[in-house]
Amino acid sequence: MALHLLTLFFKVGYILPITPLLSSRPSILRKIYCILIFVILTTGAFFTIQSRNFYRNTFFMKQFFLYANDLIVLALIFHVIVVYNFWQNQQWKKFLARLEISKKMTDFGQNRRYLSKIPCWTCFVAGHVVFTLITSYGIVIWFQIEGLLVLKRITVSTAEYINFFYLLLLCHLVYMLLKQYRGVNKTLVAYATQRQGFPDDVARVTGYVICYLKETTDMFNTLFGWPVFLIIFHTVLLLLIYVFVMVTQDESYEALSLHICITAFTMFMTSLYLVMCDKVSQESQKTVSLTYKLRWSWQQVSHSQKQELYEFTNLVVLNSPVFTAAGFFRTGKFTIIEILATVSSTLVILLQFNNK
């Protein structure tokens, strides 16, 4: 079911276009369309900033963070529209093919496919409903201030949707990896609890699956490392900017509630992805624990079989999955604390300079 939901992601991504066309190589018309959309979004972003003089009355440090956030968003748009469609189309195909193969490796006939539809589709629909409500609320507020000039903010809303779309897609892909590691652990639990002879191929077959999943995770990091880095950077800057505005400026109740909704939703989506990464790592640690349990469960084995179990444990430890942001740092639950710490410390500095 999880693979079927990816089809919906690609249908939406094909329109914008923020995901590559997987059925064939991109045609000339497709490339022209990608460039056209990128130029429209980039031009619209610059036009919106200049026409509204967003940063005219802000001091230099706040200006720096505001412009940095704009550049981060434009870099994300460039990567998902231009880089993915022009240069990484084949990498997408290879990654999704590996994901499907690894799913077959770890699918042991569980009759829970109907139940698995609920969290996948619920997250997809609920996420879009919340994003639509927040965006609509923001448009209503800005319409009261600017009138029809609010149409200029369409490009800003589109850029924010791209950020949201990829957070949702990344969460779904990591969730698929999590289910596959859980499938491996379920098999190891079955082997550890049975007492009828030692299956000679259990270590070799499971070890191969573990290595395959590790390679799939590494390919995930290679393919999505830069978007993850840009999204986390954007989250930090967005939190910093909105919290600073809420603390230092007198705003209406509507504007304040809008800022709270945006910051809370952005932080929630980013945290959800980071927690999912951490859950995969935890599941891998369970795999290591189960290999030790296999040693204790299978005492009546030959010396060669016992040695194979020791080597199997070492293989699992060496092939534990690690999620990174473009190789700069690891991602997990601890990253949430690092984001909050960065925002808090930088906010203190901004407030001190603002008071001066």
pLDDT tens digits along 254-297: 888 998 999 999 999 999 999 999 999 999 999 999 998 888 87
pLDDT band at 54 (very low <50, low <70, confident <90, very high): low
Query: Cβ(203)–Cβ(129) under 8 Å?
Result: no
pLDDT digits (tens, 9 = 90+) for 318-352: 999 999 999 999 999 999 999 999 999 999 988 88
- pLDDT tops 80 at residue 199: no
Query: What pLDDT does 254 receive?
Result: 84
Residue 124 host element (H or E): helix 113-146
Single pTM value for the model: 0.92
- pLDDT tops 60 at residue 117: no
Q: Rounded to whole angstroms, how far apart are CA atoms 249 and 68?
A: 21
Q: What is the mean pLDDT of residues 51-55?
A: 55
Q: What is the mean pLDDT of residues 108-129?
A: 67
Share of the chain above pLDDT 70, in %: 88
**Tokens, residue 247:** 């603390």
Secondary structure, 3-state, 308-352: HHHHHHHHHHHCCCCCECCCCCECCHHHHHHHHHHHHHHHHHHHH
Q: Rounded to whole angstroms, how far apart are CA atoms 177 and 161?
A: 24
- Cα 312 to chain centroid distance, Å, stands at 31
Query: What pLDDT does 20 receive?
Result: 92
Secondary structure, 3-state, 129-140: HHHHHHHHHHHH
Query: What pLDDT does 256 receive?
Result: 87
Residue 313 falls within a domain, yes or no?
Answer: yes
pLDDT band at 108 (very low <50, low <70, confident <90, very high): low
Residue 68 falls within a domain, yes or no?
Answer: no
How many CB atoms are closer than 10 A to CB 154? 14
- 292-305 core/surface letters (b: 16 or more CB in 10 A; e: else): eebeebbeebeeee
- pLDDT tops 50 at residue 247: yes
pLDDT digits (tens, 9 = 90+) for 2-22: 677 888 899 999 998 999 987
- Tell which wins on pLDDT, 24 or 324: 324
Phi–psi pair at 123, nearest 5 degrees: -65, -40
Long-range contacts of range 235-239, CB-CB < 8 Å, 24 or more positions apart?
A: 235/266, 235/267, 235/270, 235/339, 236/339, 236/342, 236/343, 237/65, 237/68, 237/69, 237/72, 238/69, 238/262, 238/263, 238/266, 239/263, 239/266, 239/267, 239/339, 239/343
Residue 293 falls within a domain, yes or no?
Answer: yes
Q: Rounded to whole angstroms, how far apart are CA atoms 356 and 99?
A: 54
Phi–psi pair at 59, nearest 5 degrees: -80, 170
Query: Domains in the chain: how many in total?
Result: 1
Domain extent for 240: 91-355
Lowest mean pLDDT among 60-74, 114-128, 138-152, 274-288: 114-128
Query: What pLDDT does 111 receive?
Result: 46
Query: Cβ(176)–Cβ(2) under 8 Å?
Result: yes
Q: What is the mean pLDDT of residues 289-306?
A: 80
Residue 261 falls within a domain, yes or no?
Answer: yes
Q: What is the mean pLDDT of residues 204-214?
A: 94
- Tell which wins on pLDDT, 200 or 111: 200
Residue 85 falls within a domain, yes or no?
Answer: no
Residue 239 falls within a domain, yes or no?
Answer: yes
Closest CA to 235 of 206, 273, 207: 273
Query: Cβ(206)–Cβ(308) under 8 Å?
Result: no
Residue 342 falls within a domain, yes or no?
Answer: yes
pLDDT band at 114 (very low <50, low <70, confident <90, very high): very low
Cα end-to-end span (Å), the chain: 57
Residue 345 falls within a domain, yes or no?
Answer: yes
Query: What pLDDT does 113 receive?
Result: 46
- pLDDT tops 80 at residue 300: no
